[in-house]
Each structure stands twice: as structure tokens, then as C-alpha cells.
Structure 1
Amino acid sequence: MESRLNYFGNPLAGKVLKHINSAGKAVSDSTLPAATQELVKIRASQINGCGFCTDMHTKDAALAGETSLRLNLIAAWREATVFTDAERAALELAEQGTRIADAAGGVTDEAWANAAKHHDEEQLVALISLIAVINAYNRINVINQQPAGGYKPGQFG
């Protein structure tokens, strides 16, 4: 399978991605734990059917020390006992923030209150921003049919 076009080699895309990547770097430098960031990126990518991002972020998470057990259970996080309450709150926010069209009003007050119980203001800003950034990347890759499976950690950094 090949992508529809060489999006990542296009000069206009480079200008767009520069800004998206800048936002992503700000989030990665925040106090939101790196493991939580990867869990959120993987879960949103699963929901959006973005194989490229799911491949990338599971490999990056594994390289950073995430266990295969936790990686394998992200899609079933509600039933899994391997995630902290803070991670579960972030995953719920990621799901509702990714599926905003599925419920009137988007993210529920309950999901927000739970996230706020476990994360300070900077971490909440990081979560909102991260959810927006990964959803943007998911949409770029899904629309372009970017193939999955060939990502090598460190390939883009």
C-alpha cells in the first residue's frame, strides 16, 4: 500500500507540520508524564483508525520502557487493572475529546472533573493540546492513507 501523495515531502506540508510539531514539542516538555502522553496518542490513534500513528507511538512507547502488557490493553483500558487512576482519567478525556461528535456537548463534566482531580492546570492544558495535535496527525495520515508498519523509532527526530 502506498500513500495517496508524498505529503511529508511537500513544501506546503512542511510549513504546516512545523507548527503542529512545535505544539507537540511544547506538550512533550510539559509536566504531563511521558507515559501518559504516549497512552493518549495511542488511544486516539486507535479510535481514529490511524495505523501509522498507532505503529509509531506503540514503538516509541516500547522503546521508552512501556510494557507490552500495558500496550496490548490500551484499547480495553476500562477493564484493565494495569493503569493508574490518573492514566485512566487521561484516557477517558482522550476518548471523549476524540469522539466529540458522538455526544452532545463533547466532553462530559464528569470526565473533565475526573481529569482535573488527577492533573494540575498545566497538565490539563497539555492533555487538551495533545488530544488536538494527535487528532490532527491522525486525520492527515488517514486522509492520505499513510501506510503503517514501517516506522522506525527516531525516524523523525
Structure 2
Amino acid sequence: MDARLNMFGNELAARIGKHLVGANQAIAGTDLPASTQELVKIRASQINGCGFCTDMHTKEAAAAGESAVRLHLVATWREATVFTAAERAALELAEEGTRIADGAGGVSDEVWARAAQHYDEEQLTALAGLIALINAFNRLNVIARTPAGDYQPGQFGH
């Protein structure tokens, strides 16, 4: 399948990307663990069917030392024993925050409360922003049909 649009190849795309990358850098600069950030990005990208972002974030996570076992089990995190309680809460929040149209009105109070048991206000802000941001990236890449498979870690200064 060919890309419909090069989301990295024109002036408007560059301006949009600059702001999205800036938001990502702000989140990356928080004390929300980098491994949790990548797991959340991977899970949302899987749900949204964004091959480009799934490719990017699994490779970035692996390059940062994430284990192959954990990367292979992100899609089935509920049954996997390799994630911490905090990571599980973040993944659950990512799922509900990504599937807001599928559920009963967004993120449930129970899911939010589980996340709040593990993360402080700044980290929860980072998680909420990260979930919104990766969903925006996913949607841009799915709409444009950005191809997956050729991403190299560090390619975009990640």
C-alpha cells in the first residue's frame, strides 16, 4: 500500500510536526518513566492500527533496553506477568483513553483511581497528554497511510 501523503515532507507538515514533537519533548522531560511512556505509545498504536508508530516505538523501546518479552506481550498485558502494577495502570488508562468512543463516556473513575495510586499529578498530566498525543500521531499516520517497517531508532531525534 502506498502512502497517500508524506507527513514529513512539506512545510505545513513540518510546522505541525514541530508542535507535536515539542509536546512530546515536554512529556519526555517529566519523571514519568521512559519505559512506561514507550509502553503507552505502543499500546495505543496497536489499538489504532498505526503500523508506523508501532514500528517506531517498539524499536525505540528495544534500543533503550526494553526486553523482547515485554515488547511482545504489550498487546496482551492483562494476562502477562512481566509488567509492574504501575505499568498495568498506565496501560489500562491508555486503552480507555484511546477507546473513548467505544466505552461509556471515556475513562472510568475506577481506571483513573488505579492510575492515581501509582502516579502523582504531574505524572498523570504527562500520561493524559501522552495518550492524547500518540493518538494524534496515530491518526495522522493512519490517514496518510505512512508505511511501517523502515524506521531506525533515533531517526527523528527521539
Under a length normalisation based on structure 2, what TM-score does the superposition of the two structures give? 0.98
1:69-123 per-residue CA deviation (whole Å, 9 max, x = no partner) reads 0000000000000000000000000000000001122000000000000000010
Structure 2: runs of 5+ lacking an equivalent: none
1:31-78 per-residue CA deviation (whole Å, 9 max, x = no partner) reads 100000000000000000000000000000000000000000000000
Amino acid at match of 1:50: C
Q: Which residue number in structure 2 is paired with residue 144 of structure 1?
A: 144
Amino acid at match of 2:145: Q
Distance 1:63 1:118 in 2: 26
Aligned-residue Cα RMSD (Å) equals: 0.6
Bigger proportion of residues as helix = 1
Are 1:67 and 2:67 matched, yes or no?
yes
SS of the equivalent of 2:86 reads: helix
Q: Which residue number in structure 1 is paired with residue 123 of structure 2?
A: 123
Q: Which residue number in structure 1 is paired with residue 5 of structure 2?
A: 5
Under a length normalisation based on structure 1, what TM-score does the superposition of the two structures give? 0.98
Q: Which residue number in structure 2 is paired with residue 77 of structure 1?
A: 77
Distance 1:105 1:11 in 2: 37
Which is worse superposed, 86-95 or 9-18? 9-18
Matches within 5 A, 1:38-49: 38-49=38-49
Distance 1:6 1:67 in 2: 32
SS of the equivalent of 1:9 reads: coil
Distance 2:33 2:128 in 1: 14
Percent sequence identity over matched residues?
71
Structure 1: runs of 5+ lacking an equivalent: none
Runs ≥4 in structure 1, deviation > 4 angstroms? none
Q: Which residue number in structure 2 is paired with residue 87 of structure 1?
A: 87
Distance 2:99 2:50 in 1: 14
Distance 1:115 1:50 in 2: 25
Contact 2:6 2:146 in 1 (8 A): no
Shift of 1:17: 1.1
